[in-house]
Amino acid sequence: MKAIVLAGGFATRLRPLSCTRPKALFPVVNKPLLEWTFERLEKHNIRDVIMAVNHQTEIAVKEQKIPTHTLRVMYSRDPPRKPLGTGGPIKKAEKLIGHDSSFLVLNGDIFADVNYTRLLETHRKTRATATIALCKVDDPSRFGVAELAKDNCIRRFFEKPSPEEAPSKLINAGVYAFHPEIFEYMPENRAVSTEREVFPKLAKEKKLYGYIHSDLWMDIGKPEEYLEINRILLNRTKGTQNQQASRGSQVREPVAIGKAAVIGKRSVIGPNTVLGHDTVVGDDVRIQDSVVFDGAEIDDSTRIQGAIIGGHVKIGKRVSIPKACILGDYVKIRDDVSLAEGVTVCPAKEISESVATARNICC
């Protein structure tokens, strides 16, 4: 059984963190999102994974060296400067996927605890050309939305509909089972949108079915969603993540502390906090409701609350980083700087004075 993971898109809403890494490699409780997906694929006995990437993503994914265990991972790359959209990469990988059996397609930028085995079973039973995992959300406007008949056949499919157009709150979870017949619906050598070009056609022909997914699903597209998925998973694994909590500091669960992290005296970490691998935290530091990426250094008496701190960031003494702040990788913040809520800083930028209003600070 094969799966193709779409991972060649550009995450714009997670800037500045997505300037330096694809969304599929964002750490979720100290594990790249893609590693969670690989583990889930393995659990459901998928053997072959095709990563549909662009040049940059391919390099970044390979560099990350995610454990693959029993999975065989192949790469299928979009042509240089010609992103193929969500359907083009599937058509391009037609030979790798083959025509022997149905296969899985996964958006690489979501956390979706989908039972792939059941999805594939449902797909085979209905003999659909495509079966889409669907989940319920309050605001469907940022997603693909399905109108479902009683037998789970999808009558109509709208990509990013206006509020008046949206026929339901059942959205495309970005996880599909496709029969090889799908290749006939995808033109070759150009960008194709599966959602706008293929699904509406299949719906008309009654070859598109839905599979209701009611377990955990989260698009990590927005910073608050990214913090939320970390919080949810921290709560699920409470108490199992902190073997190396330092002497003299306090950990308030739920917290995850990465390998070789060092925490100074009287510092309080948590609740709802992830400290990445190789992070260094000084004395009297307070970090809560935040995610700190690998290799960040946070000096004495600094306060961080509700923020995302990129990899290898260096933060000085007595710094204040409040809610909704995002620091890109390698940012430096000097001693005594206070940031206003919602300040975002581009990678490698140095900040030596306080910032009083929410804004993006770039080079």
Residues that bind Mg ion (CB under 5 A): 109
The pair phi, psi for residue 217, each rounded to 5°, is: -150, 130
Task: Give me the half-sphere count of Cα atoms (radius 13 Å) on the Cβ side of residue 17.
Answer: 26
Site string for ligand GDD, 154-173 (x = CB under 6 A): -----x-----------xx-
* Minimum distance, C-beta of residue 53 to Mg ion, in the bound complex (Å): 15
For ligand GDD, which stretch binds (CB under 6 A), given 7-15, 34-42, 256-264, 312-320? 7-15
CB nearer to Mg ion: pick between 103 and 111: 111
264 vs 242: CA distance, rounded Å: 15
Neighbours of 205 (CB within 10 A): 9
Q: What's 141's DSSP letter?
A: G
Return the sign of the alpha-carbon dihedral for residues 49, 52, 58, 61.
negative
For ligand GDD, which stretch binds (CB under 6 A), given 108-116, 259-267, 338-346, 353-361? 108-116
User: Facing residues of 31 across strands?
Assistant: 28
Label residues 229-263 b or e (16+ Cβ within 10 Å = b): bbbbbbeeeeeebbeebbeebebebbbbbbeebeb
Q: Report the greatest alpha carbon distance in the chain.
A: 66
For ligand GDD, which stretch binds (CB under 6 A), given 1-9, 26-34, 207-215, 229-237? 1-9
CB nearer to ligand GDD: pick between 53 and 61: 53
Nearest to 128 by CA among 148, 149, 154: 154
Q: Is 110 in the site for ligand GDD (CB under 6 A)?
A: yes
* Minimum distance, C-beta of residue 80 to Mg ion, in the bound complex (Å): 22
CB nearer to ligand GDD: pick between 92 and 123: 92
Nearest to 49 by CA among 30, 66, 64, 27: 66
* Minimum distance, C-beta of residue 43 to ligand GDD, in the bound complex (Å): 20
* Minimum distance, C-beta of residue 47 to ligand GDD, in the bound complex (Å): 21
* Minimum distance, C-beta of residue 50 to ligand GDD, in the bound complex (Å): 10
Q: Is 7 in the site for ligand GDD (CB under 6 A)?
A: yes
The answer to whether 192 touches 88, Cβ cutoff 8 Å, is: yes
Dihedral angle, C-alpha 3, 116, 218, 155, nearest 10 °? 90
Site string for ligand GDD, 49-88 (x = CB under 6 A): ---xx------------------------x----xxxx--
Q: 6 touches which of ligand GDD, Mg ion, none (CB within 5 to 8 A by kind)?
A: ligand GDD
**Amino acid in position 155:** R
Nearest to 281 by CA among 248, 326, 235: 248
Q: Is 35 in the site for ligand GDD (CB under 6 A)?
A: no
Measured CA distances, 329 to 17, 65, 161, 219, 309 (Å): 7, 19, 35, 22, 8
* Minimum distance, C-beta of residue 267 to ligand GDD, in the bound complex (Å): 37
Residues touching ligand GDD, count (CB under 6 A): 24
Q: Is 228 in the site for ligand GDD (CB under 6 A)?
A: no
Q: 223 touches which of Mg ion, ligand GDD, none (CB within 5 to 8 A by kind)?
A: none
Q: 58 touches which of Mg ion, ligand GDD, none (CB within 5 to 8 A by kind)?
A: none
Q: Is 175 in the site for ligand GDD (CB under 6 A)?
A: no
For ligand GDD, which stretch binds (CB under 6 A), given 2-10, 65-73, 239-247, 261-269? 2-10
The answer to whether 284 touches 249, Cβ cutoff 8 Å, is: no
* Minimum distance, C-beta of residue 109 to Mg ion, in the bound complex (Å): 4
Q: Is 131 in the site for ligand GDD (CB under 6 A)?
A: no
Per DSSP, the three-state class of 338 is: strand
The residues binding ligand GDD (CB under 6 A) are 6-9, 52-53, 78, 83-86, 89, 107-110, 143-144, 159, 171-172, 174, 195, 219
